Amino acid sequence: MRRSAVGALVALSLTACGGAHRTRTTSAQLTAAAASAPTTTVTTATTSSRPARHRRSHLAPRRATHHGARPARPSPPAPHATHRSHRPAHTTTTQPKASITYAISILLHGGGSLHARACGAAHHFRTYATGAPVRVTGTVRPIPTGSWKVKIKIKVCHGGSFGDFIRLDASRDKHHGTFSGSFPAPAPGDYEARAELYVSDTRVARTEEKHIATL
């Protein structure tokens, strides 16, 4: 019995020693394996709250060219802006000429003298025989500088009023400002004559009536 017990105790001791040796061996093996294994480093990227700035590349982009094709021409420079002058545009203003008052007179030559009533009013008449020449002269003051002309208008008394009869263009002397004209005395009746001045085809003056009686 004692031998059996002793043997059991010895066996148990040997088992314990062997286990401890195995345990130490296993720990040593794990330490050696850990030392020989590569070290892995984990790096955590830190994200900045500011947006990343875009850096302009100093390298000009390559221009794509195809074999046999011409490179694109550079765009023409923009035209220079035209500078406007602050000065007002030159404007020619024609001042209107001062209005000129013209005076024109008429005179009947020859014939007789008669005071009578015609067309409801009393007048002084120059009397002419039918067909006799009636000569007229007159003056214009001041002498117009532009184109001018004088017309002699003859009216006849008919139905209680004077109406248009004939109109004549008088001859004029541009240097002296005078005019003249003549016409044959019409059929028996009462007439009136006046001269009208036209400057640049615009009537600017006229005389008072001169009365004519034909017999």
Q: Which residues are 136's β-sheet partners?
A: 108, 181
Give yes or no for a contact between 109 and 125, defined as CB atoms under 8 angstroms apart: no
* Domain 103-211 in this protein, CATH class: mainly beta
Report whether pLDDT(176) > 50.
yes
Tokens of 188: 């028996």
pLDDT of amino acid 18 = 46
Give yes or no for a contact between 106 and 205, defined as CB atoms under 8 angstroms apart: no
Q: Provide, rounded to the nearest whole percent, the portion of the chain with pLDDT above 70.
A: 54
Report whether pLDDT(63) > 70.
no
| Sign of the alpha-carbon torsion through 54, 59, 60, 61 | negative
Report residue 114's pLDDT band, with 50, 70 and 90 as the boundaries.
Answer: very high
Spatial CA neighbour of 185 closest among 124, 125, 106, 142: 125
Question: Which residue reads 């028996």 in tokens?
Answer: 188
Report residue 99's pLDDT band, with 50, 70 and 90 as the boundaries.
Answer: confident
- Output 78 or 6, whichever has higher pLDDT: 78
Residue range 148-171: mean pLDDT, rounded = 96
Angstrom distance (rounded) from CA 106 to CA 154: 13
Report whether pLDDT(108) > 50.
yes
pLDDT of amino acid 214 = 97
pLDDT of amino acid 15 = 47
pLDDT one-digit tens code per residue, 33-61 = 444 444 444 444 444 445 445 455 444 44
pLDDT one-digit tens code per residue, 189-209 = 999 999 999 999 999 999 999
Q: Provide, rounded to the nearest whole percent, the portion of the chain with pLDDT above 90.
A: 53
Question: Which residue reads 């004077």 in tokens?
Answer: 162
Residue range 61-65: mean pLDDT, rounded = 50
Residue range 155-177: mean pLDDT, rounded = 95
Residue range 107-119: mean pLDDT, rounded = 95
Residue range 152-173: mean pLDDT, rounded = 96
Residue range 102-127: mean pLDDT, rounded = 95
pLDDT of amino acid 50 = 52
pLDDT of amino acid 204 = 96
